[in-house]
Chain A
Amino acid sequence: MAHEPSPLFWEIYEQVVADEALDAQAWALVEAAFEGREALERALGGAASAGARAEATARTRPVPPRTWLSKVEVEGFRGIGKKVTIELPPGPGLTVVKGRNGTGKSSVAEALEVALTGECRRWNDRPADWKSGWKNLHHGETRIAAAFQTEGRGVTQISRKVSGEAELEDAAVEVLRGGEKSDLAALGWDEALATHRPILAYGDLGKLMTEGPSKLFDALKGILGLDEIVRVQQRLSDARKAREKIVEEAKGEHKRLVTDLGALDDPRAKRCAEALGGRKWKLEAVADLLVGGTVDERLEKLEQVQRVTLPEAAHVDAVVARVRAAVAEKEALAATEAGRHHETATLLQHALTWHGRAGEAACPVCGEGRLDAAWRARSEAALASMTAATARMRAVDGELEAAVRAGRQLAVPVPGALRGLGELGLSSEVEGAWAQFAAASEARDARGLVAQLEQSYPALSTAHAALMGDVGARLDASERRWAPLLGRLMAWHPKAEAAVAAGDAVKRLKGAEELLKGIDGDMRTKRFAPIAKQAQEIWSKLRQESSVSLANIELAGTATKRRVEIEVAIDGNEVNALALSMFIPRLTHEDSPFRFVVIDDPVQAMDPFKVDGLAQVLRDLAKTRQVIVLTHDTRLPEALLRMQIPATIYEVVRRLESVVEVRLSSDPVRQYLGDARALRYAANTIGMGVVKTVVPALCRSALEAALSRVARRRLLAAGLGHDAIDERMRQAKPTNHIAALALFGDMERGEKILPLLNKWGRSHADTFVLLKSGAHDGFDGDVEALCLATERLAELVERHA
């Protein structure tokens, strides 16, 4: 599978597999959701999950190459006209840019933000003319550039140039990395810029704090690196919601169906309603009904009744008439000669047959006459005339017999279908009428038959017609209402089956969501704990004289209820201090590639007692980060100086027409030398002994400050990582080592230091030796000369790099 689990997944995996109470089914879904939507669908479909993961190897989040800021150039932008360049030592340390309000120092921070991101966040909610007022009126062209030192990648430079009437968004962007053309995307900073944006406008921070807990939550949650969990949660909830919709739809139709089925007086409807009435739908029973698997007896009986037919009235009349005609003809014929001769003819026929066999003889009937040829001739003639009449008589008999048979055929017994009509709720009148009609077949003679038929038929016909009317109505009503319900049931059935499966999946998904929620909470707590701790430490430093402690900070809730819970009661002024406490951890998170932090005007609205705390916070931060503070307030540089916190201080001064001058006001080298000189002038009070002990040590610190800065810059340029540099700087305790690192990039080349310094001038080597020994043994020479010599050597060292 192409899917490569993220380090976050592995971290969670390791935690989860160690949990014996883990709901394995829920975890399988969570795991699939981490993989993606398709995998989740597969897992829900019952397909085997991705299977046992390969052995989880401990993986850590990759640390991006660290980046330091080395230069900002601004030209024709906001308060700055002619080009202004601020060079910064790329490495840990504190740099303060001080200047009165309106000197253009904030423009430097804004320019850096624009260089990095193309926009300036703090303008976002300002009026449009403010946003468009980025162009400096005294300068035609706008160019913003920033240079960075990235571990192992050399120098990265980003510049944006806007000519003529073009807007800032249309700036021509040029990116150089390690001397080669690159582009912003290739730097891989986009995410970090959003998550760890290294530029902090203090006023905006206060705003973020007061804008509400969910804003703050969003701003802080990003640094936890748990966005993937949010995406996975989304996948699970999307899958669940899609299924809930299926269930809801099926349930809605189910409710309507059950109501409608209940209202229908139909056994099929009743059975369906029963099957669907319980909490669990008996879908199979419904399916049987739908395919006609069960027979509705009542309905069938009704249909049987409906199939029962009655002879047409016209047919009955015809049969009756036929019988009557046959009877009448027979009676009329019996009264004629033919009728009377019928028997004589029969007798003659037999006599002739006897004479044919016996020949001439005496009459066997009377014994007197003689049966001779003459008799035969006479008799044959008489018989011929008599036979015609007899044939007629026979035909009349035949017709009567046939007519009666037809009459009896009409009078069939009561059909079985008409028995028990009462049970169906129908009138049984027809049954009696039919029995009367059928009784005709029992009549003694043809007259009786037709009389019975004629007499009983009208009642039967009326009763039958009434019955058919009832049955037809009953069948009609039932079918008319059942048919559409049947259609709905058939359409609903597959959806219901899907809904049952979906309902099952919803339950599983809910379990998975619950599990992931717990994991999210755990991970959040785990990752936020060090951040909260750092925030608390910063807060207690900032508010060092205050009893208001930041007891507990938590990222709580989710979705619309997300918030940052801070257990502290603070007033307006302190919001800024709290914001700084909360946001420094965000800026300085280990996952951020940015080792620099730009804080614009942190002293604003700060309680005077807190400036000392801020100085302490900045000093601690500057041990590992490049901290750049812009301030219009003199209190911070003052506090740094008096508290002997090493810092590089630039001063920004504004001349007419947007000409901004930047000059180095102080740096650690000058700070130490300033302290050394202060003592030198107090020699009369504190005594030469102290001066000669302390001054060489301060001078050596000044030189070491210069050497450290150069060493760090050299190692960084050589492609060494932050940790490696720190490690070497730690090892390089003796001045010799630091000097060798600074001058040759190799701590072991101490023996080359003096020859190099000698090349620069004999006195420099002497100064170096003096500072090394003097710091330990005291110093006997001219203190002022030592300060001066140190200053020159430090300058040369800086220039050498």
Chain B
Amino acid sequence: MNYSHFILPFSIGAIILFVIIIVKFTKWFRLLDRKQKYFIKRNIFTTKTISATIEAFREALIHRNIYKKNPLLGYMHMSLAFGWFLLIVVGKIEASVYSGTFFEEPWLAIFFKYFAREPHNFWGAKFFTFTMDFLLLIILSGLALAIIKRFRSKILGLKKATKHIIYDKIALSALWLIFPLRLLAESSTAALVQNGGFLTGGLGSLFPQQFAQAIELPLWWAYSISLFVFFVSLPFSRYMHIPTEVALIFLRKWGATEGEQYSGLTNFEINSCSRCGICIDACQLNFSANINNVQSVYFIRDTRYNKISDLVANNCLLCGRCTEACPVGLELTQIRQQLRTKTEVPGKHYYDYCKVEPTKNKTDVIYFAGCMTHLTPSIILAMKNIFSAANEKVWFMDEEKGICCGRPRRQQGFVQQSKDLVSKNTKLISSSGAKLLVSSCPICCKSFKEEYALDIEIMHHSEYIKMLIDEKRIKLNKSELNIVFHDPCELGRGLNIYKQPRQVLSKVGKLVNTEFDEKDSLCCGGSLANTIIELDSQLKIRDDVLQILAKDNPDVLATACPLCKKTFTRNYKGKVMDIAEIVSNFLSLQNNSKKEGKKEEEKILISQ
């Protein structure tokens, strides 16, 4: 039997690790909500499991997503994860071939060189020795990059590395020690019995015989102990992401999605965060306002250790840039909203003062301007102009006594109140019998699409204008204007509408690209979701964004959100216009003159 006392720390550590992981996973599985469990049951025996396996291989081992964002960082993660994985697999095969049975001692693969002391002459021995040394070299190169990253993160393209807590530091030190110790231990054995490859054998030949004899056993002990420390600290440190991320990939492929409430899936998500710190660089609070302790990585960490504070949960613009940047694809904004949820009296009505009376305006199209749009009346005027040019009968839903769509309440965690507003608006909308709802505010638009169960089509006005142009109901004059388009967070990352506004604007003028477009677009800083941030910081964010957008001195700075417009107008010398205003200004006169004759006959309903 291949046994020495030094295998004990490793074996005990491995058993502790597996027990803790199984206990934790069981606990989280139980917390999954009914809908998530239903999807998992339905999809577990389908081809989705196979595609999840492929995805797990690609993401958890090769780290394709990180590789795409930053090749050097991707190589670092790949060499450590995939290299170690191969080291285990190849080591296991080597041990099995060596002992002639598949069921050899489980630790034999880990401490193979120590036990396989006689000259190797089993089948493929040379190949295995070379491969194992080669894999170890790859891991060590990744480790070197990891160490450089810790002390000089800029070399690897990260402006700021995450600040770690004590568990992480212990696990990190153990992880860093494992591979150098393995190299030294194998080299010292190789020095004594000449069983090493190009790396271990080469290093071993430098050791004097007596010296190697003296350090061999202590080095194997140190290797085993470092494995023990890493295994035991893993479930409590950031390295819990290694097993959890694989589980999360499977859960997602089976169709489990984040709901409104904190659930078992949220537990899987927050434990899948590797605290890589990519979200820190993406966050505008970090690079514009110099607030460094509230980014998603810290938020998720605090949530995981049950230390979440009001300050961290609420100090966020909910712009979604971190969600877009996250290599694991965690739904960070959604989790933040879950954590903001307040306990409330179920079924209580808060807005009884608002009397909902079924409307008498039976039209096909409803226009919902939104609270913010009422502060930028030029957008409303422009929309009215466009509606009349397109001959559309419209009911202006919130012209006089509108109520909020409910999203601001939802963002602050008052779910019950938000639902109250949703039900009131739903009653109003369904009483009109319309087929299409147009909104000028991306925030309302997202709310209508995601929180309302409406069976009518919902469009942001940029989509609607695009549709009018496609159907040739309005004609636009082309001009020589240089236009920069700023993607509002809720319209772009929130609703995935990037093309429509650009297509509309390119009909009017010349679109100029900026450094941060589409998915990378910046938040104007005016977001309401943050109740902590001070005015100065908000203004700094705005000014930084304006500087980037106005770099090429465009004639018009276009946007599609009343809040962005309002924020920018206050400190921009040039023109800031909503997409609706630009379109309204460039409506073809031909179209208008044709219309004017008929104007009397057509009753264009733009009233309540």
Q: Do A and B bind each other?
A: no
**Interface positions of A (Cβ within 8 A of B):** none
Chain B residues near A (Cβ < 8 Å)? none
